[in-house]
Structure 1
Amino acid sequence: MTRNNVDALTCLAFSPDGQKIASCTTSSGVAITDISSKSKQQLDMLADAHTHVTAVAWSSDGERIISALPDNTIRCWDVISTRPVGLPFRGHKDLVLAAAFLPNSSHAISLSRDGELLVWDTGSGAVIQQVTVSNAAQTIFVAALSVDTSLLVTSDTKEAVAWQIPTCAQIAEIPLPDIPLLQAAIIPNDCPRVVLAFGDRSFWVWDVNTGKHDDARFEGLDENDIPFAMAASPDGKLLALEIDGDGDRPTHFYDIKGHELTTSDIKCIHPFAFSSDGKFFAASSVPSDSKDVFCNLIVRSVEEARKLTPQVQS
């Protein structure tokens, strides 16, 4: 069946207070939704910039938003006026995979697919630091930036590397098995951990400080199930995993040991986001099987998923 009009969500980000969420779609740009009132306002983006916003993030004071656009530029926006602040940030030569304000909001960081990590002055839009995080012959396939922007994990076809932000210093290389690494998510706390999901339905919980990892496996998956998207709650007790091509129940919820939680009525697909306080989970609705396809924003209480019972296999 051919779908004429598809309006899919491309990325999500909660405000620092967890009360609002910025969502991006392929045809209407960036919208800001108030969770309690359900009110929505649209950033004043030009029509030719609406398609495929690849990253979005809030400043620590909740007053500004940055978005990465398909022309490899980054724009800064005033949340109240919904107008752009200054000129586009130019410096990337490839698709921007991740972008975020640093805690002081006067600087931002972004990573492009060709492995260039840039630190920006958000007032002038100038690049103040540039680090290549991948060999020239490689392309970044997996990238994860922690919610507090203190840790970045990147992986090409050969290795995964953990980077300290904002110094852009390499913390450690993560030796990978001879199995494709498909997804990564970061659990930020005093002892940060990285969840690495592989093509054989196994995953590691890698400790940044010790360099050691726990092996686990996502239970309840078939041999051909491929992890397509993943997110971890801030406390690391809940993992959301989308399975590629599973139309009936694309997203599964797990505890950190890989035990699947009993089925909830949260039928959703990526992009995923957890609020920094761990209270809310956001995702995209599953597109309807109709001529005109629209994906709606879904926001649910994390407590709803926490009350589910792990299906521990004997």
Structure 2
Amino acid sequence: MLIDKRGTLKIMAADAPVKAVAFSPDGRRIVSGSRDSTLRLWDARTGQPIAEPLRGHTGSVFSVAFNPDGSRIVSGSMDRTLRLWDAKTGHPITEPLCGHESAVTSVTFSPDGSRIISGSRDNTLRLWNANTGQAIGEPLRGHANIVTSVAFSSDGSRIVSSSGDNTLRLWYANTGQPLGEPLRGHEGRVWSVAFSPDSSRIVSGSDDSTLRLWPGPKVWPDELCKKLTRNMSRKEWRKWVSPDIPYVEQCPGLPIPSDESQPQARATL
């Protein structure tokens, strides 16, 4: 550990480049992943290593993350696997999580800690059970180049990913299905994405030297209402939504068109 002229704490981590770092939820520990295939835990206050390196990967560790309660760590590696670790002992919890066909570039836990999402150079994302290490469903396919970054929304219902194909994609976390079309606008690889804490916005960073802000799914109805001049009529609601669901004002404050026709009374036997 060194203190430089600016008072910055410098942790001498390893002889190999450090590829990934993350704080524990309580801010007391740091985990790092290195090109030497190991992870290390550090005391965030003193910069001292905690126990021995975490060994198990056979390639560079590209991404690391703590689960929400700080008890587990997930790592993604050049060796095409993810690994789960006990954050207290540093011991592996399960066998390596295998399924990707190329390097695992990004990993993170869902907000409730029950699932993991990973992105890979094989152009796919995968969902995993964080307790058993088992894959959930089929790979999430849609990107045309490597997946560089992944993130969950704050409620865990959506996933956002970025790619070397210059786009972002949104996914339903429960089904793995894509949500809408790719988000286009960057003119270079998109390297990193994140949801805002309330999931109302998404930020992305790209090779084109720009960041872009995007409305998150949570505010899509509001964004749509800004472009509309009226609500659906009750007749339209019955036709396009359902005659069995009570009418809901879609855009509060906008007019509801007059609808003289009423639902036909249902015949009774």
Same fold (TM over 0.5): yes
Q: TM-score, structure 2 length as denominator?
A: 0.65
Q: Tell me which amino acid in the other structure corresponds to 1:252.
A: R
Query: Could you tell me how far apart the structure 2 residues matched to 1:29 and 1:161 are?
Result: 39
- Residues 188, 30 of structure 1: CA spacing in aligned structure 2 closer, same or farther, 3 A cutoff? farther
Uncovered stretches (5+) of structure 1, i.e. residues with no partner? 1-27, 32-38, 260-314
Q: Stretches of 4+ moved more than 6 A in 1?
A: 28-31
Query: Could you tell me how far apart the structure 2 residues matched to 1:204 and 1:168 are?
Result: 25
- Residues 115, 40 of structure 1: CA spacing in aligned structure 2 closer, same or farther, 3 A cutoff? farther
Question: 2:80 is matched with which residue: 115, 140, 150?
Answer: 115
Uncovered stretches (5+) of structure 2, i.e. residues with no partner? 221-269
Q: CA deviation at 1:191?
A: 4.1
Q: Which one has a larger percent helix, Structure 1 or Structure 2?
A: 2
Query: Could you tell me how far apart the structure 2 residues matched to 1:101 and 1:113 are?
Result: 19
- Residues 208, 234 of structure 1: CA spacing in aligned structure 2 closer, same or farther, 3 A cutoff? same
Query: Residue 236 of structure 1 corresponds to which residue in structure 2?
Result: 199
Query: Could you tell me how far apart the structure 1 residues matched to 2:174 and 2:110 are?
Result: 18
Question: 1:143 is matched with which residue: 97, 103, 106?
Answer: 106
Greater displacement, 196-205 / 114-123:
196-205
Question: 2:96 is matched with which residue: 104, 114, 131?
Answer: 131
Query: Residue 35 of structure 1 corresponds to which residue in structure 2?
Result: none
**1:128-180 CA distance string (max 9 Å, x none):** 31223235xx3125433147454222334264321132432222224424722
CA contact (8 A) 1:159 1:173 kept: no
Greater displacement, 75-84 / 157-166:
157-166
1:37-56 maps to which residues of 2 (within 5 A)?
41-45=8-12, 49=14, 52-56=17-21
Q: CA deviation at 1:79?
A: 1.8
CA root-mean-square deviation = 3.4
Q: TM-score, structure 1 length as denominator?
A: 0.57
Query: Could you tell me how far apart the structure 2 residues matched to 1:29 and 1:120 are?
Result: 28
1:152-171 maps to which residues of 2 (within 5 A)?
152-157=117-122, 159-171=124-136
**1:281-314 CA distance string (max 9 Å, x none):** xxxxxxxxxxxxxxxxxxxxxxxxxxxxxxxxxx
CA contact (8 A) 1:239 1:254 kept: yes
Query: Could you tell me how far apart the structure 2 residues matched to 1:94 and 1:127 are?
Result: 16
Percent identity among equivalent residues?
26
Query: Residue 30 of structure 2 corresponds to which residue in structure 1?
Result: 65
Query: Could you tell me how far apart the structure 2 residues matched to 1:174 and 1:29 are?
Result: 44
The structure with the largest alpha-carbon Rg is 2
- Residues 173, 70 of structure 1: CA spacing in aligned structure 2 closer, same or farther, 3 A cutoff? same
Q: CA deviation at 1:83?
A: 1.0
Query: Could you tell me how far apart the structure 1 residues matched to 2:206 and 2:102 are?
Result: 23
The answer as to 2:150 corresponding to 1:185 is yes
CA contact (8 A) 1:231 1:241 kept: yes
Query: Could you tell me how far apart the structure 2 residues matched to 1:55 and 1:198 are?
Result: 18
**1:253-305 CA distance string (max 9 Å, x none):** 22237x9xxxxxxxxxxxxxxxxxxxxxxxxxxxxxxxxxxxxxxxxxxxxxx
Query: Could you tell me how far apart the structure 1 residues matched to 2:31 and 2:137 are?
Result: 29
- Residues 169, 189 of structure 1: CA spacing in aligned structure 2 closer, same or farther, 3 A cutoff? farther
CA contact (8 A) 1:55 1:96 kept: yes
